[in-house]
């Protein structure tokens, strides 16, 4: 019996559409033990809607599908498992909740089998299941990840922090992709190429001015922000108060604010005041980058060697 802890992720990071992602210090915990029949329960949830993780029945949900996939790759028959999920990551809000289930299922199955697969093989399986790498790569590996045909881990300075604001309503990935144009102009493509390059420079050089200049996007955010009614007011507040920038986390509805650590208390108070005054139903989580990725814990919650 053991636990797999997997961090939430912020995909795209503005201009890095389907390429950049970062793991943050907000977690789902998955408790596994072998059993006589499959069972799945939720100890708590950051969202009342857990269907993204569960499906209609234990055999249909993402966790079991991930475990089944790895057992098949190993040429073994999957035994039954009893699983309990502690879900602190809001579901279907753009923070990679489904990716945590894929990663947890693969890591757990690999552990039960005696770790026949290496981390890079688990990542390949996770990407095939998810369809794109910008959530599963940082969820498994931790840190800020640029994924091409392989992951490239980027630094994130201690002087930079993140706030994630998750409205009560969902923006499903299918809807968020449907709203995007089928083609983009050469001008917009060049714009995003430049901004993604500046983002890479900002991370490697830990340059706050470059980070501030890099977070604009023309491929997805101008369209998806229309689905997030609080976006404009929050963006204006944080930019007026000195944040580096605000982006849509994944496909939304969560918004992520990147800001200097020195603004922590001031910006937190301003955002909490705005949310209260507007009467928004919204969860604010103040986080930083998780550098560990998916971790095996023992029953007491300590890291396993």
* 107 pLDDT higher than 60: yes
| Adjacent-strand bridge partners of 143 | none
Predicted local confidence at residue 53, as pLDDT: 47
pLDDT of residue 56: 41
The one-character DSSP state at 245 is E
- Helices assigned H by DSSP within 82-185: 97-112, 119-130, 133-141, 173-178
pLDDT tens digit string along 186-242? 999 999 999 999 999 999 999 999 999 999 999 999 998 988 999 999 999 999 999
The matching CATH number, chosen from 3.65.10.10, 3.10.20.90, 3.30.70.20, 3.30.230.10, for 2-153+290-297 is: 3.30.230.10
pLDDT, greater one: 303 or 89:
89
pLDDT at res. 289: 96
As a whole number, mean pLDDT of residues 254-278 equals 95
Distance CA(211)–CA(200), nearest Å, equals 9
2-153+290-297 matches 156-287 in fold: no
Q: Which two tokens stand for residue 170?
A: 């969902």
- Identify the pLDDT of residue 304: 60
Specify the CATH superfamily of domain 156-287. GHMP kinase, C-terminal domain (3.30.70.890)
In this predicted structure, what is the pLDDT of residue 302?
A: 59
Rounded-to-integer distance, Cα 135 and Cα 249, Å: 10
Q: Per-domain residue ranges for the chain? A: 2-153+290-297, 156-287
pTM: 0.89
């Amino acid at each position: 019996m053991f636990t797999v802890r997997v961090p939430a992720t912020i995909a795209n990071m503005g201009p890095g559409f389907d390429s950049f992602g970062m793991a943050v210090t907000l977690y789902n915990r998955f408790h596994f033990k072998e059993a006589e029949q499959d069972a799945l329960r939720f100890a708590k949830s950051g969202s009342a809607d857990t269907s993204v993780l569960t499906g209609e029945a234990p055999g249909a949900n993402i966790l079991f599908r991930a475990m089944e996939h790895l057992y098949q790759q190993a040429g073994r028959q999957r035994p039954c498992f009893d699983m309990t999920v502690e879900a602190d990551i809001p579901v279907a809000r753009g923070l990679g909740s489904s990716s945590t289930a894929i990663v947890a299922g693969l890591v757990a199955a690999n552990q039960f089998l005696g770790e026949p697969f290496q981390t890079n093989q688990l990542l390949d399986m996770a990407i095939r299941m998810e369809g794109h790498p910008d959530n599963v790569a940082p969820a498994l590996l931790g840190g800020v990840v640029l994924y091409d045909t392989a992951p490239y881990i980027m630094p994130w300075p201690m002087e930079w922090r993140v706030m994630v604001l998750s409205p009560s309503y969902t923006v499903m990935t299918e809807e968020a992709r449907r709203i995007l144009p089928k083609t983009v102009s050469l001008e917009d493509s060049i714009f995003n190429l430049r901004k993604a390059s500046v983002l890479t420079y900002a991370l490697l050089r830990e340059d706050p001015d470059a980070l501030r200049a890099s977070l604009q996007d023309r491929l997805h955010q101008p369209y998806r922000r229309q689905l997030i009614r609080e976006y404009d007011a929050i963006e204006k507040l944080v930019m007026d108060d000195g944040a580096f920038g605000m982006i849509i986390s994944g496909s939304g509805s969560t918004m992520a604010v990147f800001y200097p650590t020195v603004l922590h208390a001031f910006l937190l108070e301003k955002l909490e005041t705005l949310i209260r005054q507007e009467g928004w139903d919204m969860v604010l989580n103040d986080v930083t980058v998780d550098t560990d990725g998916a971790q095996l814990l023992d029953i007491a919650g300590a890291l396993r060697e």
